[in-house]
Structure formats: C-alpha cells, structure tokens
Structure 1
C-alpha cells in the first residue's frame, strides 16, 4: 500500500514550504489577496451633502464644513482623501490633506454613509494673500469626475502671506451613521 506514504510525503513537503515563509507579502501577493469588496465609489453612484457648516464668523476664526456621502448603488470602496479645490474667479487652489488624519479603507453598502471635513481659516475680505473663494470642487479617489458647490463661507486665509497655499485642509474619509 504505497498511496499512504506518497500522501504523507506530499503533506510534509507542503508543511515544509509553509514553514519557510518569512511572513512578508510581495506587492503582487497583496494585490491578489486584497478583498474584492466592490468597485471604487464614484460621484455618479453616491449622493453628496455639503454642510451644514460651522462657519468661521470673523477673520482669523476657524470653520468646519462636513461633507457626507451616501452610497446609492452596489457596494463600493473609499480609501484615502478626497480631492478638494477652492476656486476664485481667477485661480484654483487644492487643499492639503490633514496631517493628523489616518486614512482607512471603507466599504460602503447601498445606503451606507461616510464623511470628511473641510477645515479653513477665514480671511478679511480683500486681504493680501487670501483667496476670495466662489466655488468648492470635490472629487473622490479613483474617480476623475468633479462636482461643484457654491462657497458661501467667506474668503480663505493664505499661508505665509500667499494664496498659493491656503490655511485649509481636508480630512480622510470616516464611516458615518450607525
């Protein structure tokens, strides 16, 4: 009866190869092992709600604008940070990612919500180095589509006396709701 020794030998070889694994995954292994939990969320399949905002009442004050996404379609994923641009009549400035935020991968089933927050410092109207924002543009990671909203929160203060970099940031996505 030679079948038993062959099966034992095959099992021993498999265990030996497993024992030699250093525990590290190559990028190809991680990519193929990542769960297929749905496609990337896109603006065409999620509803966005901007606000209500905690508006900065005066120059030098900080305001926060929550943005809530609700998935209206098949399960999809969000990972990282949204792309947020603030536009004036003659320029556009992309917001920096909040350095304290820890991005995570979220899977949203139909009806699930996630949110992120835009934080900004209000400037004096017409102040040098500020941006008189008129429009807020939002794009989701992996989706080239942008959606625009009217900005009604006043001018935004620039960093170091220039409007090329604003005193504003965007947080990572966070799960919202129950």
Structure 2
C-alpha cells in the first residue's frame, strides 16, 4: 500500500484557500473587505467647536474640530494639517503639532467620528499677535471656517503660540 506525503494535501488545501479568498496579494477583494482610502473633505462632515475661548491676552483657549465619515472606510494618518489665514489671505500661519504629541493612524468606517484640538494663547493686538480671520483644515482638499477666537500670541520673532493635537477616535 502506498501512502501520500502529508505535504501534498496541505499544499493543495492552502492553494484552494488562497483561490477562494481572491489570491495571495489581497488585491482581489474576494473576502468582502474594502481597502480604506485617505479621508477627504468630500467624504466627511466637519464642525468646529464649541470652543473654550481664551477671554483675554495671555489666556489659553481650545478649539475642537470634529468630523464624521459619510462614505466608505477611510484613514487618517499623521497630524491634522491646519492653517490660520489673515485678512484677505494676506498671511498664513501653519499650525504645528503639539509638543510631545504622538500621531496615530485611524480608520473610520461609515458613521464613525474623530476629532483634534487646537490649543492657542490669545495675544494682545499689535504685539506681534496674528490676527486670524479663517481656520483652514486640509484633508485631501480644504475646508475653511471663520476664526472668532481672537488674535494668536506671538512666540518669538517668527512663531505663534498655537498647536494641534493628534487625531483622536470619538464616540464609543
């Protein structure tokens, strides 16, 4: 009586399993999962606030920005790209990540939400403070919101006292 080596049936079973799942590369999508793409302003609803406004020069304020995915799964990776713009786009300030913050990659299914927070120090007009009029959030496109939280304090000759947190999963 002749016996077959165990490796032949195992290899055949693995080959059949790969064929049923759409191949070894995973690009076939035969398992029902869809690969996520980068979230964009076209696929998420976005809202700013309610903010904890800095009432006077030297005070610290926080402005949350939340968004909900309205489409197929999408990812957020790295830090939010945020800019403040002055009157008539005369000047812009790129908002850097908060010191010590760690970026994370999030995948949002349809209906899931995430947020980030801007932390700023209110400045006194005329003391190097940036008088922002618009907040721009760039997420594979840009969406703009009115900045009503006062001037942002100067931080030395070329910076301003504002930073952005990493993306955070919101909700359950």
TM > 0.5 fold call: yes
Cα distance, 1:2 vs. partner?
A: 7.6
**1:148 equivalent in alignment to 2:144:** yes
What's the counterpart of residue 22 of structure 1? none
Aligned positions of 1:120-135 closer than 5 A: 120-127=120-127, 129-135=128-134
Q: Indicate conservation of the 8 Å contact 1:70/1:112, yes or no.
A: yes
Q: What are the ranges of 5 or more consecutive residues in structure 2 without an aligned counterpart?
A: 12-26, 28-32
Task: Quote the Cα distance in structure 2 between the aligned partners of 1:113 and 1:3.
Answer: 55
- Spell out structure 1 runs of 4+ moving beyond 6 A: none
What SS class does the counterpart of residue 97 from structure 1 fall into? coil
TM-score normalised to the size of structure 2?
0.79
TM-score normalised to the size of structure 1?
0.76
Q: What are the ranges of 5 or more consecutive residues in structure 1 without an aligned counterpart?
A: 12-31
Task: Quote the Cα distance in structure 1 between the aligned partners of 2:91 and 2:72.
Answer: 37
Task: Quote the Cα distance in structure 2 between the aligned partners of 1:45 and 1:86.
Answer: 23
RMSD: 2.1
Task: Quote the Cα distance in structure 1 between the aligned partners of 2:65 and 2:75.
Answer: 17
Paired residues, number: 148
Task: Quote the Cα distance in structure 1 between the aligned partners of 2:108 and 2:46.
Answer: 14
What's the counterpart of residue 86 of structure 1? 84
Cα distance, 1:116 vs. partner?
A: 0.1
What's the counterpart of residue 102 of structure 1? 102
Cα distance, 1:103 vs. partner?
A: 1.4
What SS class does the counterpart of residue 5 from structure 2 fall into? helix
What's the counterpart of residue 167 of structure 2? 173
More strand by share: 1
Cα distance, 1:37 vs. partner?
A: 4.1
